[in-house]
Amino acid sequence: MPLSHYTPCSHSKKYIAEQDRAGARFNKELTYSVRWGTVEFSRSLSLRQEIMKWNGWGYSDSRFLFNKKGQAEFTGKRYRLSGLILPSLKDWFEGTFGANLQHRSPATPSLNLSAVAPPNLNQPFVEDLKAAGLAVSHDPEDRVFRAHGHCLHEVFALREGRIGRVPDMVVWPSCHSDVEKIVELACKHNVCLIPYGGGTSVSSALECPREETRSIVSLDTSQMSRILWIDEKNLTAHVEAGIIGQDLERQLNERGYCTGHEPDSMEFSSLGGWVATRASGMKKNIYGNIEDLVVHIKMVTPRGVIEKSCLGPRMSTGPDIHHFILGSEGTLGVVTEVTLKIRPIPEYQKYGSVVFPNFQQGVACLREVARQRCAPASIRLMDNEQFQFGEFCFSLILLNFFLLKNFCFKGFDPQHLCVATLLFEGDRGKVLQHEKQVYDIAAKFGGLAAGEDNGQRGYMLTFVIAYLRDLGMDYYVIGESFETSVPWDRVLDLCRNVKERIVRECKERGVQCPPLSTSRVTQTYDAGACVYFYFAFNYRGLSDPVHVYEQVEHAAREEILANGGSLSHHHGVGKLRKEWMKESVSGVGLGMLKSVKEYVDPQNIFGNRNLL
């Protein structure tokens, strides 16, 4: 790109000045209350189930649809986008996927209860539970709701009204000792327990194993959602593991604190789920990932309770037993209580965005930011396809035409440019200083600051993007996202190869229209980055679209591994990626994990068959 004729420094200075003023107007509370609904999930056993979709993502009242004029709108009142009309989404949607609003593929409107197999109950176990005063249910809706995560094949089957093996009953413990009781009874009566937190798994982790012949009991932790104590001297909070992310954050906010752990699923995912999958949050650069945040974990296993004896910040007592628990994906026991680090709510928060002439320059900039260890709370880089999506649908990035023209003049080709979104947090002076440092680095890579609003909208999109899949599925478009982590020097090659592999595999499998195949870098580390892929295609004309989808995703994962990417950065392995575990951690590594499982749970009570 010929960029010699512009002076990046003067530009970025100008933008920073503007953003500074905008930052001063920033109203934190408003953002929080707008972004997250105000429903507290734990009030009753079924409230959550009532306000959420049974066969799609998120709240029942929030969804994308094309109105009679063919304009897209987002319903409900919960999000900033709610109630907005998105006039150009239709054009993007039809253009990208070759889809047509005349061709609909609607979901089955409601759950056909007769499709649910009658429960295989272990009566003595049920009676013992009832005797112990525990809430249980074998209502089909309760069971179906807890039988799946959000993998494409799971949601697709629900939309078609196909119900596979579901748990035979649901039990709701309300505290640690309830869980101890349940696990003890499960061992006694040999039933299979599957812990259930927020239900946002994307690794087939919640699927009931077909080969399981015992009674399967879903252990729903949603009633264990209290903050038990907050220790302001040590900045820790002791929390029950069933608490949902947004509730935890809101309740801590009320006390002036936060955890800073914000995975994209935080509206619905639970603390216990984070621990069990080694979750990662958007702002990990400041607060760390879940393994950095936990000080203490209490887990109930068939062998008894596992926990450390003190709250020391670090220990040298052999291999860290927390690391057997973190990422155990419900195969060893139920996480009941967690002591987490907390931080005072940051004084100042500021969004930002930078436009780069191309993805290579963007990645080079992120690499430099990581090298200098000056990454903001969050920094993400979208590729050109995602930029175009944002641009088309929401006019997100470059609101005014004048600005776009300006960029084109500067040698930015709309077919190549890409955008990074930024979030800074901390005390005001430092944020501004930090911001300058990052924008200066960006300028060296041809990046131009593109405003605070664009950054903020970019992050907002994160929470609604999952709703878009449901819209696609109404019109013969299916898709999913998946992630990996990879050393810096391979980021570009991996992105290019995986995207191309997806396109090629789709073509070979008879997908008529080229798929949407895009990537973004969502986290930076000293030694590498986390990369996300979004992939969707129009499945008209395919007899078994889900199978095609799975084959392509499988090929994409093979490509990731062949290019030096990891099996997963934070989604986990579940049953979806199990076949690659041995290759990923070596035979000995797998054997070690198996022997732990063998010791902790010889009866395979926690029989979800994830991971190993």
Partner 1 sequence: MFSVFIQPRHPVLKKRDDFEDVLEERRRSSDLRYALRCYTPTLYKGLVPCKASMLKSIVLQSDHLQYVIKQVSSESGDSAECVAEEASLILDEMAHRLQLSTIRFFAFTLSKAFKRLFRSVCVNEEGIQRLQQAVQEHPVVLLPSHRSYMDFLMMSYLLYMCDLPLPVIAAGMDFMSMKFVGEMLRMSGAFFIRRSFGGDKLYWAVFSEYVKTMLRNGYAPVEFFLEGTRSRTCKSLTPKMGLLNIVMEPFFKGELFDVNLVPVSISYERILEESLYARELLGVPKPKESTSGLLKARRVLSEDYGSMHVYFGHPVSLRSLAEGKINRSQYNLLPRYIPQKPRVDTHEFLNDAAFRLVRIQEENMVLKPWVLIATLLLQNPDGLELSFLTEQTDWLRHLALAFGAFLDWPNHEACSEVVSCSLALHRHLLSVSAGHVQLNVTDAPQDETTPEEAVFHRAVVVLSCASYRNQILHVFLRPALLAVAMQSANSNRKDDVYNCFNFLRNMFSNEFILCPGDSVQDFEEACYLLMKRGVLQVLEHEIVMSASGHSTLAFLCSVLDPFLQGYQVVCRCLCEETNENLTEKEFIPAVRSFALKLILAGRLKCCEALSSDLQKNALAALLRLKAVRKVKVGDQVTLKVNKIAVNSLEDTLGGKIPTLKPILARL
Catalytic residues: 532
* Cα 500 from Cα 498, distance rounded (Å): 5
Q: What token pair was written down for 522? A: 């969502």
Q: State the nearest-atom distance from the C-beta of 560 to partner 1, in Å.
A: 10
278 assigned binding-site residue: yes
490 binds partner 1 (CB under 8 A): yes
Question: What is the footprint of partner 1 within residues 387-406 (CB under 8 A)?
Answer: none
Interface region with partner 1, contact rule CB under 8 A, candidates 114-122, 404-412, 489-497, 524-532:
489-497
Interface region with partner 1, contact rule CB under 8 A, candidates 391-399, 436-444, 485-493, 600-608:
485-493
562 binds partner 1 (CB under 8 A): yes
509 binds partner 1 (CB under 8 A): no
Based on CB atoms, which residue is closest to partner 1, 296 or 496?
Answer: 496
Task: Dump the DSSP string for 155-176.
Answer: HHHHHTT------SEEEE--SH
Burial of 126 (0-12, 13-18, 19+ CB in 10 A): buried
582 binds partner 1 (CB under 8 A): no
199 assigned binding-site residue: yes
Q: State the nearest-atom distance from the C-beta of 410 to partner 1, in Å.
A: 19
Element (H, E) at 600: helix 581-600
Q: Which of 289, 484, 563, 608 binds partner 1 (CB under 8 A)?
A: 563
Q: What token pair was written down for 570? A: 């934070």
Torsion of CA 263, 267, 270, 273, to 10 degrees: -40
Based on CB atoms, which residue is closest to partner 1, 189 or 501?
Answer: 501
344 assigned binding-site residue: no
Q: State the nearest-atom distance from the C-beta of 581 to partner 1, in Å.
A: 14
Based on CB atoms, which residue is closest to partner 1, 231 or 493?
Answer: 493
Specify the DSSP class assigned to residue 52.
B
232 binds partner 1 (CB under 8 A): no
Counting residues that bind partner 1 (by CB under 8 A) gives 13
Interface region with partner 1, contact rule CB under 8 A, candidates 194-202, 316-324, 361-369, 487-495:
487-495
Interface region with partner 1, contact rule CB under 8 A, candidates 60-68, 203-211, 461-469, 496-504:
496-504
Q: Which of 564, 582, 590, 596 binds partner 1 (CB under 8 A)?
A: 564
Q: State the nearest-atom distance from the C-beta of 562 to partner 1, in Å.
A: 4
Q: State the nearest-atom distance from the C-beta of 566 to partner 1, in Å.
A: 10
Based on CB atoms, which residue is closest to partner 1, 564 or 591?
Answer: 564
Q: State the nearest-atom distance from the C-beta of 559 to partner 1, in Å.
A: 9
501 binds partner 1 (CB under 8 A): yes
497 binds partner 1 (CB under 8 A): yes
Q: Which of 489, 544, 579, 598 binds partner 1 (CB under 8 A)?
A: 489
Catalogue the E-assigned strands of 78-156.
Answer: 85-86, 135-137
Based on CB atoms, which residue is closest to partner 1, 127 or 489?
Answer: 489
242 assigned binding-site residue: no
Q: State the nearest-atom distance from the C-beta of 12 to partner 1, in Å.
A: 27
Interface region with partner 1, contact rule CB under 8 A, candidates 190-198, 336-344, 486-494, 543-551:
486-494
* Cα 190 from Cα 185, distance rounded (Å): 8
Q: Which of 127, 292, 493, 544 binds partner 1 (CB under 8 A)?
A: 493
557 binds partner 1 (CB under 8 A): no
Distances (CA, A) of 134 to 129, 170, 217, 226, 480: 6, 10, 13, 18, 37
Of 460, 377, 390, residue with least CA distance to 419: 390
500 binds partner 1 (CB under 8 A): yes
> Contact at 8 Å (CB) between 352 and 420?
no
496 binds partner 1 (CB under 8 A): yes
Interface region with partner 1, contact rule CB under 8 A, candidates 252-260, 271-279, 379-387, 558-566:
558-566
578 binds partner 1 (CB under 8 A): no
DSSP alpha helix (H) spans, 107-220? 123-131, 140-145, 152-159, 176-189
335 assigned binding-site residue: yes
Please name the residues in contact with 376: beta carbons below 8 A apart, sequence gap of 6 or more: 285, 352, 422, 423, 424, 425, 434, 435, 438
196 assigned binding-site residue: yes
Q: Which of 183, 293, 382, 494 binds partner 1 (CB under 8 A)?
A: 494
3-state secondary structure of 564: coil
DSSP alpha helix (H) spans, 288-340? 290-293, 322-325
Q: Work out the number of other CB atoms within 10 angstroms of the CB of residue 47.
A: 14
292 binds partner 1 (CB under 8 A): no
* Size of the chain, expressed as the number of residues it contains: 612
> Contact at 8 Å (CB) between 520 and 420?
no
Q: Is 572 left (phi over 0), alpha (psi -120 to 50) or beta?
A: left
Sign of CA dihedral 409, 415, 417, 419: positive
Q: Which of 157, 403, 561, 612 binds partner 1 (CB under 8 A)?
A: 561
334 assigned binding-site residue: yes
Of 299, 286, 283, 393, residue with least CA distance to 338: 299
* Cα 145 from Cα 196, distance rounded (Å): 10
Interface region with partner 1, contact rule CB under 8 A, candidates 111-119, 413-421, 556-564, 595-603:
556-564
551 binds partner 1 (CB under 8 A): no
Specify the DSSP class assigned to residue 151.
-
361 binds partner 1 (CB under 8 A): no
Q: What token pair was written down for 299? A: 């887990």
Q: What token pair was written down for 542? A: 């395919």
> Contact at 8 Å (CB) between 555 and 487?
no
In 240-256, which positions are buried (b, 16+ CB within 10 angstroms) versus exposed (e)? bbbbbbbbbbbbbeeee
Binding site residue list for FAD: 195-201, 277-280, 329-335
Binding site residue list for substrate: 469
Query: Which residues of the chain form contacts with partner 1 (CB under 8 A)?
Result: 489-490, 493-494, 496-497, 500-501, 561-564, 583
